[in-house]
Structure 1
């Protein structure tokens, strides 16, 4: 029962973070391309380009995190959340609290990283991302929909 309660709390945290990221990602995609009539020197242009590059990189990271969070929410809805995708053992709650959208236990994540595989990046695994694309939605799950006894 303790694990189920922890997963319910993590679900709420994931939903909150998802909502924040959705706002950030949609806000960054609109951009702030206000046309300027101000003449820039080369230093101003370099600063502007650097800022745009950093904002673009941050938006990419936020988008990847959003995909991972949506996947974790989907796994909660399916009752498969918190199980390592490599060894199928329960991922410790402490790890899930640290990285709520993780798909691997520490041992399997370390093994994957040592082999040069991503340990938690859904964005680079196109086949896996495609598989989950149809199931990713923004509907919230109700507590009684969760079956954590598996």
Structure 2
């Protein structure tokens, strides 16, 4: 029961963070037009270009976090949240409190990182991402079932 209560609290945190990120992403897309001075020297242009680059990078990070949070919320609704995508063991609540959208337990995450794989299941593991999306459809197709040699 303690785990269930913790997951309920984490669900609330994920929903709150999702709403914050949605607002940030929409605000950054609205504010991206920005005003540009008609008189701009090369230093000003370099500063403006660097600022735009940083804003773009931050928007990408926020978007990726938003996608991970949406996936975690969907897993909660399916009743599969908090289970490692690799070994299927329960991810400790302490890890979920630190990273509520974690998809791997610590040992599996370390193993994946040592092999150079991403611990971001949405963007780093296309087969699992495809299978996750496929569960939303009536007919489930696994990537292994497809003949890609043709």
TM-score per shorter chain, which class? 0.7 to 0.9
Unaligned runs of 5+ in 1: 137-150
Q: How does 1:38-117 map to 2 (within 5 A)?
A: 38-117=38-117
1:26 positional shift: 1.4
CA distance in 1, matches of 2:16, 2:133: 20
CA distance in 2, matches of 1:101, 1:24: 19
Residue correspondences, number: 136
TM-score by length of 2: 0.83
Which one is further off, 3-12 or 20-29? 20-29
1:147 matched to which residue of 2? Answer: none
Q: Give a deviation string over 1:111-143, Cα, whole Å, max 9, x none.
A: 00011110125224344334445789xxxxxxx
Q: Give a deviation string over 1:73-126, Cα, whole Å, max 9, x none.
A: 000000000000111110000000000000000000000001111012522434
**8 Å Cα contact 2:11-2:73 kept in structure 1:** yes
Unaligned runs of 5+ in 2: 137-150
Alpha-carbon spacing, 1:131–1:21, altered in 2? closer, same or farther (3 Å): farther
1:35 positional shift: 4.3
Q: Give a deviation string over 1:44-81, Cα, whole Å, max 9, x none.
A: 00000000000000000000000000000000000000
Counterpart secondary structure, 2:63: helix
**8 Å Cα contact 2:103-2:121 kept in structure 1:** no
CA distance in 2, matches of 1:35, 1:97: 41
TM-score by length of 1: 0.83
**8 Å Cα contact 2:84-2:105 kept in structure 1:** yes
Which protein, 1 or 2, shows the higher relative CO under an 8 Å CA cutoff with sep ≥ 6?
Answer: 1
The runs of 4+ residues in structure 1 deviating greater than 6 Å are none
